[in-house]
Amino acid sequence: MSTFQSLLVHLDGTARAATRLDWALQLAMPWHARVSALFAVERSHLPLLPVGPGIPPLPPDIRMEADHRRQALAVYDQSCVLSGQPCEWLDSDGAPVIETFTQRALLADLLFLGQGDPNDRESADVPGDFVESVIIGSGRPALVVPHAGEFARSADIVLLAWKPTRECARALAAAIPFLQGGHHIHLVEEDGDALQPVPVKVRDYLHLHGIDRVHEHARIAQQDAGEQLLSIASDCDADLLVMGCYGHSRARELLLGGATRTILDSMTLPVLMAH
């Protein structure tokens, strides 16, 4: 039985928001979960230029926010009607996006976020580090949806990336319902200390949860791990990648691990991440 009873979806002005919400509503049905859709974008803080000498600048331009709210509402209405599932609408009303979404995420079992697209002008009012900041700040697992391409919603083929860390352990625990529902599970481990006194056997843990259809790949090196994971995901035609999200804040700057940064920048399939 799934432990996911509260799903939180990020809505913005992009067309891809519909993909995130549709997936959450689809999963909510068999899980009997509650879905909340939080519209969260930031208003422009750059005032318009004065129109003449001695005339103060006009207030910040909020037209983009209003347009994106209308787009998000249209996505929300259409998705709810088509799915027939109840869904709660929430609005950050221009409050800081990362802080507002992170606070709400603390009481959600699973988040649905979208990969940033630097070439999409419709996403300009969402901070570029939104996804990683929310995952690290909230400690909640998240399904991150690519900004382009088509993907299966059933996650029949799952690639599990493992190394003995807290982040991977949390991602694995969150992914159990997906792994149990998958038909083919691929496991890849990162090279580590071969002299561990008590080795962690992932396959044994999966067996305890009734997951026995596991294909183990050769271990990968820590260097260029992100590129290797994406290559393996492509080779096995994976529908979902499960991995830890590595990073921390230092002097107000978010520092990410190399594999995390690579995946968030170049992902071509949905990724379940946890910190």
117 and 193 assigned to the same domain: no
Share of the chain above pLDDT 70, in %: 87
112 and 222 assigned to the same domain: no
Helices and strands in the chain, H and E counts:
8, 12
pLDDT at residue 88, rounded to an integer: 97
pLDDT at residue 44, rounded to an integer: 62
22 and 115 assigned to the same domain: yes
Final residue belonging to a domain, choices 104, 124, 145: 145
pLDDT at residue 46, rounded to an integer: 47
Domain for residue 163, yes or no?
yes
242 and 125 assigned to the same domain: no
**Confidence category of residue 226, pLDDT binned at 50, 70, 90:** very high
pLDDT at residue 64, rounded to an integer: 80
98 and 125 assigned to the same domain: yes
Summarize the confidence of residues 150-177 as an average pLDDT: 93
Count the Cβ atoms, other than its own, within 10 Å of residue 247: 19
pLDDT at residue 209, rounded to an integer: 95
161 and 139 assigned to the same domain: no
Structure tokens at 230: 């994406």
Domain for residue 238, yes or no?
yes
**pLDDT top residue among 64 and 182:** 182
Q: What is the pLDDT of residues 39-82, one digit of tens each?
A: 999 876 444 555 556 666 555 556 788 899 999 999 999 999 99
Structure tokens at 78: 């259409």
pLDDT at residue 49, rounded to an integer: 53
Summarize the confidence of residues 252-259 as an average pLDDT: 73
Domain for residue 231, yes or no?
yes
* Partners of 216 in the β-ladder: 187
pLDDT at residue 61, rounded to an integer: 55
Mean of per-residue pLDDT scores for the chain: 89
120 and 72 assigned to the same domain: yes
Domain range enclosing 189 = 157-274
Final residue belonging to a domain, choices 113, 145, 177: 145
pLDDT at residue 260, rounded to an integer: 92
pLDDT at residue 51, rounded to an integer: 53
Share of the chain above pLDDT 90, in %: 71
90 and 182 assigned to the same domain: no
- Kindly report each contact of residues 147-150 with a partner whose C-beta sits within 8 Å and lies 24 or more positions away, as own/partner: 147/14, 147/16, 147/114, 147/115, 147/116, 147/117, 147/120, 147/123, 148/117, 149/268, 149/269
The CATH number assigned to the domain holding 23 equals 3.40.50.620
168 and 133 assigned to the same domain: no
Q: In Å, what is the CA distance from 47 to each residue of 51, 79, 137, 229?
A: 12, 35, 30, 44
94 and 139 assigned to the same domain: yes
Domain for residue 152, yes or no?
no
Summarize the confidence of residues 117-138 as an average pLDDT: 89
Residue 54 falls in which region: left (phi positive, over 0), alpha (psi -120 to 50) or beta = left
32 and 125 assigned to the same domain: yes
Domain for residue 207, yes or no?
yes
Q: Would you give the DSSP letter of residue 220?
A: B
138 and 10 assigned to the same domain: yes
Summarize the confidence of residues 161-187 as an average pLDDT: 95
pLDDT at residue 57, rounded to an integer: 57
Structural domain count, the chain: 2
Q: Answer yes or no: is pLDDT of 196 > 70.
A: no
pTM of the model: 0.90
Closest CA to 257 of 173, 128, 175, 168: 168
CA distance 187 to 209: 15
Q: At 174, is the secondary structure helix, strand, or coil?
A: helix
**What is the distance of C-alpha 18 from the center of its chain?**
14
